[in-house]
């Protein structure tokens, strides 16, 4: 398997001969250990510092112990001859192969919340890629979705618990490089829908909150997102104020989509309308 290759969970277990669950999966017959840094799971705080991934050990509740089977396997991997393979997950079901890794230092302990939000000691394993390995880079869109997943998971915590967890910051902010996944958009489409808005947002119908370069400030929003296969045409584009633009990307309510669809038809009755709602269902 080549670094950068993306597989599903079924292919992973067939290829490496490991189980189908968990972040640390050992194959005794193949003398290997697969570790999965799944960022869609909110419990563990794996992070890169330079070329070293600080990987959280095994154990969902209570204090983790180095004697736990898979933790012990990873801790002893330098002397046992066990080969360790790393995968990272930024989107559910998509396992990105990074390559073989090795311990870059001794395991150490830090505090992280468990499944119940209780702070407990965990074991951290600093691992680095061997020659030929490639650190997977998430897209900017994937990072945004991961932030939403974590925010949703934290809603169950009380204010006191959040304050406790927030009071234990890391020594410095963790940087996460990402690859851009934006589209090259047609500037004429954006200019046209903003001009046709005549100073008022196509959704809330209120004036633009401010001006930039002497023009009302709007975002050009594609009602059926380009990331979902929407076309970059004026029949799929509207002008939105910053607040409504964020609303559409956070909520994407069908009632709002319907209103914008009507607005696009009213704005350009001479053009063949684009069936946004029908295309959204297909997407």
For 37-96, what is each residue's pLDDT tens digit?
A: 999 987 788 999 888 999 999 998 899 999 999 999 999 999 999 999 999 999 999 999
Residue 12 has pLDDT above 90, yes or no: yes
131 and 29, same domain (yes or no)? yes
196 and 87, same domain (yes or no)? no
117 and 207, same domain (yes or no)? no
Alpha carbons 131 and 3: distance in angstroms, whole number: 11
19 and 149, same domain (yes or no)? yes
Enclosing domain of residue 249 = 187-282
155 and 202, same domain (yes or no)? no
Cβ neighbours of residue 76 closer than 8 Å, sequence gap 6 or more: 82
117 and 41, same domain (yes or no)? yes
65 and 106, same domain (yes or no)? yes
Cβ neighbours of residue 148 closer than 8 Å, sequence gap 6 or more: none
- Classify residue 147: in a domain, yes or no: yes
Number of domains in the chain: 2
Per-residue pLDDT of 99-120, as tens digits, reads 999 999 999 999 988 888 888 9
72 and 159, same domain (yes or no)? yes
- Classify residue 118: in a domain, yes or no: yes
243 and 110, same domain (yes or no)? no
Residue 282 has pLDDT above 50, yes or no: no
* CB burial readout 108-121, b (16+ within 10 A) else e: eeeebbbeebeeee
Confidence of residue 8 (pLDDT cuts 50, 70, 90): very high
- How far is residue 88 CA from its own chain's centroid? 11
Cβ neighbours of residue 49 closer than 8 Å, sequence gap 6 or more: 174
- Classify residue 64: in a domain, yes or no: yes
- Classify residue 176: in a domain, yes or no: no
- Classify residue 179: in a domain, yes or no: no
Residue 280: predicted pLDDT? 52
193 and 162, same domain (yes or no)? no
For 63-67, the CB contacts below 8 A with 24+ separation are: 63/120, 63/121, 63/122, 64/120, 64/121, 64/122, 64/123, 65/123, 66/107, 66/123
What is the domain-level CATH number for residue 129?
A: 2.30.280.10
64 and 147, same domain (yes or no)? yes
98 DSSP 8-state letter: E
Residue 165 contacts residue 119 (beta carbons within 8 Å)? yes
93 and 193, same domain (yes or no)? no
């Amino acid at each position: 398997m080549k670094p950068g290759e993306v597989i599903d969970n079924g292919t992973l277990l067939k290829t490496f001969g490991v189980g189908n669950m968990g972040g640390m999966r050992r194959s005794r017959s193949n003398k290997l250990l697969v570790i999965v840094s799944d960022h869609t799971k909110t419990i563990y705080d794996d992070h890169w510092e330079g070329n070293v991934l600080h990987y959280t050990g095994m154990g969902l509740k209570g204090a983790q112990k180095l004697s736990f089977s898979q933790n012990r396997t990873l801790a002893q991997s330098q002397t046992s001859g066990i080969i360790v393979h790393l995968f990272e997950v930024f989107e559910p079901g998509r396992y990105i192969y990074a390559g073989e890794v090795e311990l870059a230092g001794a395991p150490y302990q830090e505090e992280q919340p468990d499944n119940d939000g209780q702070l407990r000691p965990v074991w951290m394993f600093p691992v680095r890629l061997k020659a030929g390995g490639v650190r997977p880079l998430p897209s900017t869109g994937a990072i945004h979705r991961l932030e939403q997943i974590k925010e949703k998971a934290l809603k169950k915590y009380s204010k006191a618990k959040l304050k406790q967890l927030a009071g234990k910051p890391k020594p410095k902010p963790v940087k996460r490089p990402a690859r851009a996944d934006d589209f090259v958009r047609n500037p004429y489409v954006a200019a046209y829908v903003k001009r046709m808005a005549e100073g008022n947002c196509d959704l809330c119908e209120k004036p633009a909150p401010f001006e930039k370069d002497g023009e009302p400030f709007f975002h050009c929003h594609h009602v059926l997102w380009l990331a979902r296969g929407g076309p970059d045409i004026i029949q799929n584009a509207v002008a939105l104020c910053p607040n409504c633009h964020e609303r559409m990307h956070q909520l994407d309510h069908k009632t709002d989509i319907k209103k914008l669809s009507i607005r696009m038809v009213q704005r350009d009755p001479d053009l063949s309308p684009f069936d946004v709602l029908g295309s959204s269902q297909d997407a």
